[in-house]
Amino acid sequence: MRKLGFILAIVTAITVLLAGCNTSSNGGNKPATPPQAATITKAEYDQIDDKSTYEDAVKIIGGEGKIISESGTKGNPDYSVTYQFPAEGKENANAKLTFRNNKLISKSESGL
């Protein structure tokens, strides 16, 4: 009987230790979802000009966009990246901002 109690204590201890080994940030219940892109308004879009950097745009909009296109090698002068921002309160409306060497080279909007 004493041997059974000892084995039960060991099994319980191992179970408790293994339960603490979950490394998922959300408890392992479901995969983490990527953060949503910040939404943009027409007024914010109009504030972004050809001298804007991506950091300037993020400050104006209040958050980061979703990368929809990249070309070149990050860190090189020819590296270009296009971000998409959904419109605030408007379905299927968005803005796209393209930066090369962290300077705005193109912007377009649909339905803002």
**What does the pLDDT average to over 56-71?**
97
Confidence at residue 37, expressed as pLDDT on a 0 to 100 scale: 78
- pLDDT over 80 (residue 1): no
What is the number of H-type helices and E-type strands within the chain? 3, 4
Work out how many domains the chain is built from and give that number.
1
Look at residue 55 in the predicted model and tell me its pLDDT: 97
Question: Domain of 97?
Answer: 42-110
In a domain, 30, yes or no: no
Is residue 106 in some structural domain? yes
Looking at residue 66, its pLDDT comes to 96
Does a structural domain hold residue 13? no
Region 17-30: mean pLDDT is: 52
Residue 70 within any structural domain of the chain: yes
Q: Is residue 14 part of a domain?
A: no
DSSP 3-state of 11: helix
H helices of the chain, in order, are 2-19, 42-47, 54-61
Kindly report the CATH number assigned to the domain that includes residue 61. 3.30.1450.10
**pTM of the predicted structure, to 2 decimals:** 0.69
| 88 in a structural domain | yes
Within a domain: residue 31? no
